[in-house]
């Protein structure tokens, strides 16, 4: 059995992003000076990850970020 890995390119907030169908995206939420916790993870689907990231409202000391394996793509604090 062979799996086809496809390469994709996208622009997010003016940054060029190259990823494959095997790349993991994480939507993370945290509070205050504490660490982030992954709420959702998506394999190879940047659109779905951005959709969930944009749907989170932060306030009252919460923070959110969109992570691509070892790279932070977007971050917001309240």
Positive or negative: CA dihedral 16, 21, 23, 29: positive
pLDDT tens per residue, range 66-77:
999 999 999 999
Over residues 29-51, the pLDDT tens digits come to 999 888 999 999 999 999 999 99
The structure's pTM equals 0.90
Q: Which structure tokens are listed for 48?
A: 């779905």
Q: Within 13 Å, how many C-alpha atoms sit on residue 44's CB side?
A: 8
| Cβ(63)–Cβ(30) below 8 Å | yes
């Amino acid at each position: 059995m062979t799996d086809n890995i496809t390469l994709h390119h996208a622009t997010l907030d003016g940054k060029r992003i190259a990823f494959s169908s095997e790349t993991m995206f994480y939507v993370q939420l945290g509070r205050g000076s504490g660490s982030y916790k992954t709420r959702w993870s998506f394999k190879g689907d940047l659109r779905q990850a951005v959709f969930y990231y944009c749907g989170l409202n932060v306030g009252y000391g919460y923070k959110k970020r969109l992570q691509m394996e070892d790279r932070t793509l977007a971050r917001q604090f309240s």
